[in-house]
Amino acid sequence: MSTTNGTMPVEKIDFSSDQEVRWCPGCGDYSILKQVQTLLEQSGKRKEEVVFISGIGCSSRFPYYMDTYGLHSIHGRAPALVSGLRSVRPELSVWMITGDGDALSIGGNHIIHLLRRNLDVNVLLFNNEIYGLTKGQYSPTSPEGAVTRSTPMGSTDHPFNPLALVKGADGTFIARSMDRDPKHMREILARADAHRGTSLVEIYQNCNVFNDGAFEVFTEKATKPIHTIFVEHGKPLTFANGTRGIKLNGMTPVIVDTYAGGTSLEDLWIHDERDPFKASILVRLFDDPRLEGAMPRPFGVFYVNDRPTHEDKLRAQVQRSKEMKGPGDLDMLLKGEHTWTIQ
Amino acid sequence: MSNTTLKPKPTETRQNVVILFAGDSGDGIQLTGSQFTDTNALFGNDVSTFPNFPAEIRAPQGTLAGVSGYQLHFGSVEIFTPGDQCDVLVVMNAAALKANLSKLKKGGTIIANTDGFDKKNLRLANVAGEIDPLTDGSLTGYALHTVDVTKLTRTALEGTTLGMKEKDRCKNMFVLGFINWMYSRENALTEGFLQKKFGKKPEVLDANMKALSAGYYYGETSETFSTRFEVKPAPMPKGTYRSITGNQGTALGLIAGAQKAKLDLFYGSYPITPASDILHELSRHKNFGVITFQAEDEIAAISSAIGASYGGALGITASSGPGIALKTEAMGLAFMLELPLVVVNVQRGGPSTGLPTRTEQADLWQAVHGRNGEAPIPVIAASTPIDCFEMAFEAVQIALEHMTPVILLTDGYIANGSEPWRFPEAKSLPEIKPPFIPAREQTSSEGFLPYQRDERGVRPWALPGQTGLQHRIGGIEKQDKTGNISYEPMNHELMVRLRGEKVARIADRYKPIRLDSGPPEGELLVVGWGSTYGAIRTAALQLQAEGHSVAHVHIRHLFPFNKGLGPLLKKYKQVLIPEMNSGQLRQLLRAEFLVDAKGLNKIQGMPFTSEEIRTGVLELLSPAPKVSATSV
């Protein structure tokens, strides 16, 4: 096996398990599996120190295909399982695989609490804007009006903007990538893995059976330059092959021309992944690309914050308690504070 | 005490006393009760308590809804229950009297705070015609003592700079001091408690101490009270004791189990009455490698515990009925994964939100049957506050040594009740040995079978991080031995059977079944489980003393049953099962053993009295004793 872009020679340390991969042919999940395996192979991690935990859905079959430790749990609850695991085993590399239904619908309550607590987990949110495993109902990220098997007249639900939700929950690593750009995905995954805290990467993933082409305008050569903007720390926000950029008019982002008498690069919005205010605006670049004058959809690392992880704080308390009271003495515990003796 | 100018009042000896403190939920009743309990326990009495409080934190003052009670049974004899009826009723207001008078024995003593019987309080308590029961002659059948606690407390605290509200908060200490005098107890234990609690607030400390001793001296000097009482120490087995509530017992049993398995303990929990005290207790003992995780909901509480168990810690969660309902799906996952997990259900009145602060045993079917698919999970139950410790320890043993979730049932009655505990030495507790397996030299996991079972049907516990043991597990049906996904029809049937047999074999580890009291065969066997223990034991001993052929067995293992239970049931002509539900154990026993068991069922959110049990037994027995029953 080699990487999809074929540029890097890869030593074959096999992170793939002996299980046959059972996603539909052409599913975007294959690409993500490939990039994760490649990243791990290059990371120097030992297989046994890596754990994949998933919920339920197409994406959640992921752990079976990795020759690491894996736990395929129940619908929406993976954030709670990884929280328990990380609390007791902070030395492990823990990855959580989830989808738009798993993370944002049935598991919505858990994901926000995982994010605010900030346990050190890499969360890969496969967003295909549809329920695939249950055969084609609309999801909490499906656009309003989406015609699906459960919404023949179009969805009446307003969708989540996943990364705005993540920002609202004080996520400490917020990023977006896509299945059709393996190189970008690998870079983002490596960044996510390096971050200490909950790294949430939303990955646009095509479900070619139930929602084919949902992200076509972002992934196809002809439309990608106009509809996407790849943000990099310290660099101005430009797109359309550098011909356009985004400038902040106060709090309002506006599209400007950058060539021949247009706005100079220094006046553009310079991406700062440490700026929580700008990140809040960036996650809001979420226009429907079909609309006239729509903002391009950002990809890349939106925001990074290094606040301490929950497991570090939990374990520090255990440590401090041991220092203050000494390691637990069971006899003292059973005895309690007041005793009396019958002779 | 130092007042020597007064002639000592005569002291009468009592074998056992039931006293009920009742007042507004803001009156500090629970504190008064628990302090008097500790004082008696320390003196050497056997004790049993029953705190009973409203669900509202501060229900409207003076109303019936706001009445908080604390019942204490202490004696120079062995005590098994908080007592059927009280000898002494201490009431702080009219509502407290109205709500509790029916619990007082005929001719019992009432000590009433007159200030709580003014017009306003009478109106709030909905007393008919707002006529003061303390003066209208309606209480002539009782020994009524009225004390203006509020006024006396204020007088005692004259000269302190505290506001009136703060002064009035010391009323409960006045009452406690008085009761201490009345039962020939010293204030010392409570003085120590106050010093610890208010050490940083010298004025509050001073006021409470003053009120406490004022109450004591009031007893000594007041002419209303001519007699004091004495309850001599109980002939308890020699040893060192402490007082323990059921929830404390559960928490300590869980920690002891983790320690004996040399594991960290992870407790995932969501606050719920009456289980939260387990969380509070565990969170104080982090130096034992205890991690407490207050999850976002009940589902996350159990799921995080499963994640911790997957990582090699002892995962535990606890809740009460509504929370357990939410945990159901995750319990099925833990069962399917075959990971250790302890789930404690401190039962309360149901269904739905039900009666949060009242007790019931109505979650037995939920525990035994409440999951999709065939997911048998061992269910065990504690019968007393002390037994909470023992059963929590056993729950850990079963979970870790058999790689399974275990449900431990307790209930609000024993969770909040307390009794003296001759606590064990740590070294007397058995080591717990989970089925860990050693890591391998090879990095490849080839050939490792995560669901290869031992002779007990138990799979190995391979932990993330162990070389060469990488494997994938999940809630999807798995292939025998490999754990890989399998939808193969015969494999599914095999796996359902293997998982079921594994749990059934847990009965092999139980000690032989043992009668609690009574003849090994005879007329009638009372089968109890859980917190009905004290009431049934008291009733059974009494019936035996009266010459009835009645035995009592108390079931700790509700699933799977003890193998000796079936044969035992057949040794008696009749079987009676008292339960605080409509007959859940009865149906399980009937289904399992085809025994025509009868039920004695109380579904009032309140525990059985021993007299109710005794009457129930007598009704089933031959007509002759029935006469004596009606003559009681």
DSSP string, B117-162: GSHHHHHHTT-GGG--TTTSSTTTTSEEEEE-HHHHHHHHTTT---
Q: What is the pLDDT of residue B349?
A: 96
Q: Is the pLDDT of residue A23 over 60?
A: yes
> Which residues have CB under 8 Å from B547's CB, separation 6+?
none
Q: Per the domain annotation, does A103 fall within a domain?
A: yes
Q: Per the domain annotation, does A232 fall within a domain?
A: no
Q: Is the pLDDT of residue B626 over 50?
A: no
CB contact under 8 A, B288 and A336: no
Whose structure tokens read 């159990």?
Answer: B302
| Residues A107, A333: Cα–Cα separation, whole Å | 38
Q: Per the domain annotation, does A212 fall within a domain?
A: yes
| Residues B165, B207: Cα–Cα separation, whole Å | 12
| Residues B108, B430: Cα–Cα separation, whole Å | 48
Residue of B nearest to A337 (CA): B242
Whose structure tokens read 């410790």?
Answer: B389
Q: Is the pLDDT of residue B630 over 50?
A: no
Calculate the CA dihedral of residues B364, B367, B369, B370 and round it to 10 degrees: 120
**Cβ distance A338 to B293 under 8 Å?**
no
Q: What is the pLDDT of residue A4?
A: 46
Mind telling me how many Å the CA of B411 is from chain A's nearest CA?
Answer: 22
CB contact under 8 A, B241 and A341: yes
CB contact under 8 A, B315 and A84: yes
| Helix A182-194 and helix A29-43, axial crossing angle in degrees, nearest 10 | 50
Secondary structure letter of residue B366 according to DSSP: H
Q: Per the domain annotation, does A302 fall within a domain?
A: no
Provide the pLDDT confidence category of residue B1 given band limits of 50, 70 and 90: very low
B322 at A interface, C-beta within 8 A: no
**Cβ distance B299 to B326 under 8 Å?**
yes
> Which residues have CB under 8 Å from B475's CB, separation 6+?
A72, A73, A74, B332, B333, B336, B337
Compute and round to an integer the Cα radius of gyration of chain B. 27
Q: β-pairing, B405-411 with B341-347?
A: parallel
In chain A, alpha helices (H): 29-43, 78-88, 100-101, 108-117, 162-168, 182-194, 216-219, 224-227, 276-282, 310-325, 330-335
In chain A the first and final C-alpha atoms are separated, in Å, by 78
Q: Per the domain annotation, does A58 fall within a domain?
A: yes
Q: What is the pLDDT of residue A335?
A: 96
When CB atoms are compared, the residue of A64, A318, A331 closest to B289 is: A318
- The chain-wide mean pLDDT, for chain B, equals 94
pLDDT in tens, A265-290: 999 999 999 999 999 999 999 999 99
Q: Per the domain annotation, does A114 fall within a domain?
A: yes
Q: What is the pLDDT of residue B26?
A: 82
Q: How far is CA B79 from CA A88, B83, B108, B457, in A?
A: 43, 9, 20, 43
User: Cα–Cα–Cα angle for B67, B73, B79, nearest 5°?
Assistant: 145
Provide the pLDDT confidence category of residue B629 given band limits of 50, 70 and 90: very low
| Residues A142, A211: Cα–Cα separation, whole Å | 10
Portion 252-311 of B in contact with A at CB < 8 A: 252, 255-256, 259, 264, 266, 268, 285-291, 293, 295-297, 299-301, 303-311
pLDDT in tens, B529-550: 999 999 999 999 999 999 999 9
Cα dihedral sign, B290-B291-B292-B298 = negative
The fraction of chain B above a pLDDT of 70, given in percent, is 97
Element (H, E) at B381: strand B379-381
B37, B78, B240, B303: best mutation site toward chain A, by most A Cβ within 10 Å? B303
φ, ψ at B163 (rounded to 5°): -75, 170
Residues in A closer than 8 angstroms to B336, CB to CB, are none
Residues in A closer than 8 angstroms to B266, CB to CB, are 84, 87-88
Element (H, E) at B33: helix B29-43
Mind telling me how many Å the CA of B234 is from chain A's nearest CA?
Answer: 9
Provide the pLDDT confidence category of residue B135 given band limits of 50, 70 and 90: very high
Average of pLDDT values for B305-310? 98
Compute and round to an integer the Cα radius of gyration of chain A. 23
Residues B325-348, buried b or exposed e (16+ Cβ, 10 A)? bbbbbbbbbbbbbbbbbbbbbbbb
| Helix B202-221 and helix B188-198, axial crossing angle in degrees, nearest 10 | 160
Residues in B closer than 8 angstroms to A326, CB to CB, are 287
Total structural domains in chain A?
1
Residues in B closer than 8 angstroms to A17, CB to CB, are 472
- The chain-wide mean pLDDT, for chain A, equals 94
Whose structure tokens read 């401090």?
Answer: A320
Element (H, E) at B335: helix B321-337
CB contact under 8 A, A69 and B299: no
Q: For the sheet with B522-529, list strands across it.
A: B550-555, B522-529, B572-579, B598-601
pLDDT in tens, B564-581: 999 999 999 999 999 999
pLDDT in tens, B78-100: 999 999 999 999 999 999 999 99
Q: Per the domain annotation, does A12 fall within a domain?
A: no
- Which of A265, A222, A273 has its CA nearest to residue A247? A265
pLDDT in tens, B34-74: 999 999 998 889 999 998 877 777 778 889 989 999 999 99
Secondary structure letter of residue A179 according to DSSP: T
**Pairs across A and B, CB distance < 8 A:** 220
User: Cα–Cα–Cα angle for B345, B350, B353, nearest 5°?
Assistant: 95
Q: How far is CA B203 from CA B155, B215, B603, in A?
A: 16, 18, 47
Taking residue A277's Cβ as centre, other Cβ atoms within 10 Å add up to 9
Average of pLDDT values for A42-69? 96
Portion 28-67 of A in contact with B at CB < 8 A: 46-49, 51, 53, 63-64, 66-67
Q: How far is CA B335 from CA A75, B281, B339, B405, B503, in A?
A: 16, 27, 7, 6, 10
Q: What is the pLDDT of residue B397?
A: 98
Q: What is the pLDDT of residue A2?
A: 40
Portion 113-142 of A in contact with B at CB < 8 A: 113
Q: Is the pLDDT of residue A110 over 90?
A: yes
Q: Is the pLDDT of residue B625 over 50?
A: no
| Residues B331, B336: Cα–Cα separation, whole Å | 8
Q: What is the pLDDT of residue B632?
A: 37
Q: What is the pLDDT of residue B59?
A: 76
Secondary structure letter of residue A104 according to DSSP: I
Q: What is the pLDDT of residue B6?
A: 60
Give the domain extent around A124: 29-223
The fraction of chain A above a pLDDT of 90, given in percent, is 91
When CB atoms are compared, the residue of A81, A328, A337 closest to B285 is: A328
- The domain spanning residue A140 has which CATH number? 3.40.50.970
Q: How far is CA B81 from CA B36, B43, B423, in A?
A: 17, 19, 20
Q: How far is CA A92 from CA A16, A50, B368, in A?
A: 19, 6, 36
| Residues B560, B378: Cα–Cα separation, whole Å | 6
The string of DSSP codes covering B403-456 is: TSEEEEEEEHHHHH-EEEE-PPPGGGSPP----B----SSS--TT--TB---TT
Domains in chain B, CATH or no CATH each: 11-230 (3.40.920.10), 242-428 (3.40.50.970), 522-631 (3.40.50.920)
Average of pLDDT values for A10-14? 60
Q: What is the pLDDT of residue B623?
A: 52
pLDDT in tens, B433-457: 999 999 999 888 889 999 999 999 9
Q: What is the pLDDT of residue A12?
A: 54
| Residues B41, B29: Cα–Cα separation, whole Å | 18
Residues in A closer than 8 angstroms to B41, CB to CB, are 340
Q: Per the domain annotation, does A85 fall within a domain?
A: yes
